[in-house]
Structure 1
């Protein structure tokens, strides 16, 4: 009796690999765009939550709370503000020694993304220091950007998409 061997031939395997390679080359760019959009929504949500946290802390504890670009934490454990929003956000209150007492730090964002914002503070009554908009651009792309706006009354809400980060 002759036994039959089952399996793939080399030609069948090569055709399968070629088809898989073609499908991957078509699908990967669209997945990257999908991932960028998700990252934009996720990161602007982190910014919005940090702003809401700052406002709630100001109201709850009856003090002025600031949100600025995070630079570093000094040797004494106090926060230092910077100018590069890419490094993250620092939420702080000024203590009796006039040092920036850290309430929350949002670690840096993706290195290929751009973040635009300006320092804002919330008074004990929840009113902000002025109207400002934070914009997050995944891969620096304006068309996939997300934003959150702080009104002069201290209200925080998602704003228009598609704003530039330059």
Structure 2
């Protein structure tokens, strides 16, 4: 039996020995090239997802405030704080009903610039007949901005447009 083990051909032993260092280096180089090509696309996709998430959150908050004003039969204010990155719902007496956090990488600009507040009235309109537009952007400028419009009749629309 020992004679058959010793009589093996050396070529068979070399064929099962694994990968060479050069093969591994070429494989790693190819993977590095693929990752470097895909990385910018992935970061843009993540930025777009952050903008989409922030826009959905703000849309949901505005709709909640509109419904809450009808249920409570009083004005509900939606106040955005850019420094704290929060949105607060307040009733007519100024009591904070709910507070929501916004993604810190998102940038929200409001038109008209003079107001960071939208007030929903129980009769399903906004106070003072003001049309308010929220434009949501991201720190990554490659992200596509989104726009949320609150009309004077408290209609809330979410669009894939805007400029940062």
Task: Give TM-score, length-normalised by structure 2.
Answer: 0.80
Could you list the per-position Cα deviations for residues 24-70 of structure 1 after superposition, in whole angstroms to 9, with x for gaps in the alignment?
00001011111111221111010000000000000111010001124
User: In the alignment, is residue 109 of structure 1 matched against residue 120 of structure 2?
Assistant: no
Could you list the per-position Cα deviations for residues 129-165 of structure 1 after superposition, in whole angstroms to 9, with x for gaps in the alignment?
211001110126386110100001111111351333x
Tell me the distance in 2 between the aligned counterparts of 1:54 and 1:8.
Answer: 64
Structure 2: 5+ residue runs without aligned partners? 111-115
Aligned length: 146
Task: Answer whether contact 1:137 1:145 (CA < 8 A) is retained.
Answer: yes
Task: Give TM-score, length-normalised by structure 1.
Answer: 0.79
Within 5 Å, give how 1:5-154 maps onto structure 2. Answer: 5-70=16-81, 84=82, 87-95=85-93, 100-111=94-105, 113-117=106-110, 118-129=116-127, 130-139=130-139, 141=141, 144-154=144-154
Task: Answer whether contact 1:150 1:156 (CA < 8 A) is retained.
Answer: yes
Task: Answer whether contact 2:133 2:150 (CA < 8 A) is retained.
Answer: yes
Tell me the distance in 2 between the aligned counterparts of 1:138 and 1:90.
Answer: 21
Task: Answer whether contact 2:44 2:143 (CA < 8 A) is retained.
Answer: no
Which piece of structure 1 moves more, 24-33 or 123-132? 123-132
Task: Answer whether contact 2:77 2:89 (CA < 8 A) is retained.
Answer: yes
Q: What does residue 79 of structure 1 align with?
A: none
Give secondary structure in 2 for the equivalent of 1:68. strand
- Larger Rg, first or second structure (1 or 2): 2
